[in-house]
Structure 1
Amino acid sequence: MNKDPKTAARSMRHIRRWPASLAVIAALVLQLLVPTEISTLPRWLMPAIGAALLIPLVWANPFHLTRDEPWLRWVEIVLLAVLVLVNAFYLTGLILFLGSGEADNGRVLVKAALLIWVTNVVAFAVWYWEIDRGGPFARAPEHEREAERADLLFPQMTVDLPGWDRWLPGFTDYLFVAFTAATAFSPTDTMPLSARVKTLMTIQSAIALLTVGIVAARAINVL
């Protein structure tokens, strides 16, 4: 049975890969701006690793998810895990820098805290987008792959309003979830359902809380 072209077109807008790829690239570029005071790693190391992992993703599905390659999904999850670990390493370096008594440059502290916080939001936004119900490819109704059980409960999934019956979450929705988790340090309108997303949201909120509550507060005092 042929699908309504309007329905298919509307669904395709929710499986675009380029917003997530652009967000990952932006997060990797931010690694070039991390102050040397908080990290001894070469600035080019993380962007180089990320670029190497990002190439197969962009090559297979540059704009829309038209090819279902499960191994590519695992490549991106590995990339995200490495990005989160490096970001946590930077946060640890910043906390140690604060405890050394040499943290008298407020601009360095604010810059480092902002870069760590933004990277935290972007990394977890892509992570939520990649794992919720088996990933964006599985969530799209025009594909034959069966979706897994929901990891996140969006408010649009609980209401019966005209125009929202065929709603699917896009990358912007997951970016909003990550942003609110990093600002409220807890879920807001979208509830985590699975243990894996609860774990990820706990880690994200902890990183954000340390960055804002400890690092940013110290930076303001220095300024």
Structure 2
Amino acid sequence: MTRSRASAPTHHPRHERRGEARLPAVAATLAAIGLYLALPQQLLVTPRYVLPALEVLLLLPLIAINPRRLTRQTRTFRVLSLSLVFLIAASNLVALGLLVDQLVHARAEDGRSLLIAALQVWLTNVIVFGLGYWELDRGGPVSRTQLPRSELPLADFRFSQDENDDAVGEVADGASKSSDWVPTLVDYLYVSVTNSTAFSPTDTMPLSSRAKLMMAVQSVAALLTSLLVIARAVSILH
């Protein structure tokens, strides 16, 4: 027998939730650091372990402040978290610039290793921009779950859930307005993947100038990587 919608469990307001889990963001950050560590030496501007060590040093206090759930936010927390994302993004964009130079001038025997490095740079690009969107949208992961909607900063992205309240019942029940839904890291990583593969927004639209600028930088970087990899792969095969 189908349960009536009137007896469905009541959704708790976001400020009564336990907050988003810390582990997914830590795993994504460590994955990006590991991909950087595995890059060829010619794509690094510092000794191999300098930037990863600095990134881990920024990550540790973030874990200490919110070890299990993201429920506490201070000015220091925001500065550290945004600095960590910026550092990973900047180092990866520098690696991309060096990769472009290497792919253009590399000898044939270097081609395969550079193609693998291009995949590493592309994956890091997906991860770090996903983390960037996650950190910035609506004040960040702590604000999104702990503050009432009336106190949230303006949204940087419009998800499909934000406009599904007038859809059929089983869709509308999961909409932002009816269920108090907010995006999590997985949602922002999905946005990052689609932007890096379609080179443009898909079902999630950027609203703010900074979101549009970030998506533009990401899509151009992904397009550049893809075009150079294809061109280099063709030259190797021939």
- TM-score normalised by the chain length of structure 2: 0.84
Q: Is the 8 A contact 2:160 2:204 kept in 1?
A: yes
* In structure 2, distance between residues paired with 1:22 and 1:122: 10
Is 2:173 the counterpart of 1:162? yes
Is 2:198 the counterpart of 1:184? yes
* In structure 2, distance between residues paired with 1:13 and 1:183: 34
Is 2:35 the counterpart of 1:24? no
* In structure 2, distance between residues paired with 1:9 and 1:15: 10
**Following TM superposition, by how much is the alpha carbon of 1:8 offset from its aligned partner in structure 2, in angstroms?**
5.8
Q: Is the 8 A contact 2:20 2:145 kept in 1?
A: yes
**Following TM superposition, by how much is the alpha carbon of 1:203 offset from its aligned partner in structure 2, in angstroms?**
0.8
Q: List aligned pairs for 1:76-155, cutoff 5 A.
A: 76-141=81-146, 146-155=151-160
Counterpart of 1:50 in structure 2 is 55
**1:50 partner amino acid:** E
Per the alignment, do residues 12 and 182 of structure 1 end up closer, same or farther by CA in structure 2, a change over 3 Å counting?
farther
* In structure 2, distance between residues paired with 1:96 and 1:54: 31
**2:36 partner amino acid:** Q
Is 2:228 the counterpart of 1:214? yes
Please list the CA deviations of residues 2-30 of structure 1 after superposition, one character each: whole Å capped at 9, or x if unmatched: xx986269974762222112101110011
**Structure 1 stretch 90-99 or stretch 182-191: which is displaced more?**
90-99
Q: Is the 8 A contact 1:185 1:208 kept in 2?
A: yes
Pick from 183, 205, 208 the counterpart of residue 219 of structure 2. Answer: 205
Identity of matched residues, %: 41
* In structure 2, distance between residues paired with 1:63 and 1:220: 47
Task: Calculate the aligned-residue CA RMSD, in Å.
Answer: 2.4
Please list the CA deviations of residues 51-72 of structure 1 after superposition, one character each: whole Å capped at 9, or x if unmatched: 0110110111022112122321
Per the alignment, do residues 74 and 145 of structure 1 end up closer, same or farther by CA in structure 2, a change over 3 Å counting?
farther
* In structure 1, distance between residues paired with 2:230 and 2:18: 37
Matched positions, count? 220
**Following TM superposition, by how much is the alpha carbon of 1:91 offset from its aligned partner in structure 2, in angstroms?**
1.0
**2:191 partner amino acid:** V
**1:64 partner amino acid:** R
Counterpart of 1:35 in structure 2 is 40
Per the alignment, do residues 157 and 9 of structure 1 end up closer, same or farther by CA in structure 2, a change over 3 Å counting?
closer
Q: Is the 8 A contact 2:122 2:222 kept in 1?
A: yes
**Structure 1 stretch 30-39 or stretch 190-199: which is displaced more?**
30-39
Larger Rg computed on CA atoms: 2
**1:153 partner amino acid:** R
